Copies of this chain bind each other. A is one copy, B any other.
Amino acid sequence: LKLLEERILKDGIVLPGNILRVDSFLNHQMDIGLFNELGREFASIFKDCAVNKVLTIEASGIGVACITAQYFSCPVLFAKKHRTSNIPGEVYKSSAVSYTHETTYDIAVSKRFLNSADKVLVIDDFLAHGNAVLALADIVRQSGAQLVGVGIVIEKAFQEGGALLREQGIRVESLARIASMVEGSVQFCE
């Protein structure tokens, strides 16, 4: 999405360690006008998939997921990370590695809100190593729901997450795909 690539070039900051800082518009301060354009694009891409639930993970995926869900007129469900989990009743569980925080964490979703009748669109802000999205896909699989696809705002295409998901036959659509980045410069995939 051209608008998003331009915004990354304008306001994104590349830091050592392959870190792209986009906290002025995506994952700390959130530009809701931009989010509406992202949501509109996801709605266009997945319009024939009969999406009836958007699934994301706390915390920074929630904003884009909520704005996107408006275009599908469906609810959002966010997976909770284990340490904050006080979900009553039975849950689907999976686990993921956080490279940012150098820990492994469990994620959980209540069984009451996901079942084999659901057509699920997973939305997240970033795809890099892919651990969070792989854990969400695992939860969808456990529930028997259909994973119609994964919508990502920014994919670091030089890391393995996208390939790992696509190898599993999962449809991954990223609105900006970064081929490489060095301090002061971001290159997008063709």
Write the chain B residue with the least CB distance to A33: B73
User: How extensive is the interface on chain A, given as a class?
Assistant: 35 or more
**Considering only CB atoms, which chain B residue lies closest to A35 in the complex?**
B66
Partner of A67, one of B23, B29, B66: B66
Q: Is A112 an interface residue (CB 8 A)?
A: yes
What secondary structure prevails in chain A residues at the interface with B?
mixed
Once A15-B88, A59-B59, A110-B23 are accepted as A-B contacts, the answer to whether A70 and B28 lie under 8 Å apart by CB is no
A58-B59, A88-B21 known; A32-B70 Cβ under 8 A = yes
Pick the contact of A70: B36, B88, B101 (CB < 8 A): B36
Within 8 A of B (CB), among A65-88: 65-67, 69-70, 73-78, 80, 83-84, 86-88
Q: Which residues of B contact A23 (CB under 8 A)?
A: 87-88, 110
Question: Is A113 an interface residue when CB atoms closer than 8 A count as contact?
Answer: yes
A100 at interface by CB-CB < 8 Å: yes
A133 to B173, CA, bound (A): 37
In this complex, what residue of B is CB-closest to A109?
B28
A84 with B101: in contact, given A28-B78, A76-B29, A113-B28 (CB under 8 Å)? yes
A165 within 8 A of B: no
Provide the residues of chain B in CB contact with A180, threshold 8 Å: none
A30 at interface by CB-CB < 8 Å: yes
CB < 8 Å: which of B32, B67, B75, B83 contacts A75?
B32
Q: Give me the 8 closest cross-chain CB pairs, A-B, nearest first.
A: A58-B59, A59-B59, A62-B62, A63-B66, A30-B76, A29-B113, A32-B69, A29-B77
Pull 29 A–B residue pairs with CB atoms less than 8 Å apart, ordered by A. Answer: A15-B88, A24-B113, A28-B77, A28-B78, A28-B80, A28-B87, A28-B109, A29-B75, A29-B76, A29-B77, A29-B113, A30-B75, A31-B75, A32-B66, A32-B69, A32-B70, A32-B75, A36-B70, A58-B60, A59-B80, A59-B84, A62-B66, A63-B63, A63-B65, A63-B66, A67-B67, A83-B83, A83-B101, A84-B101
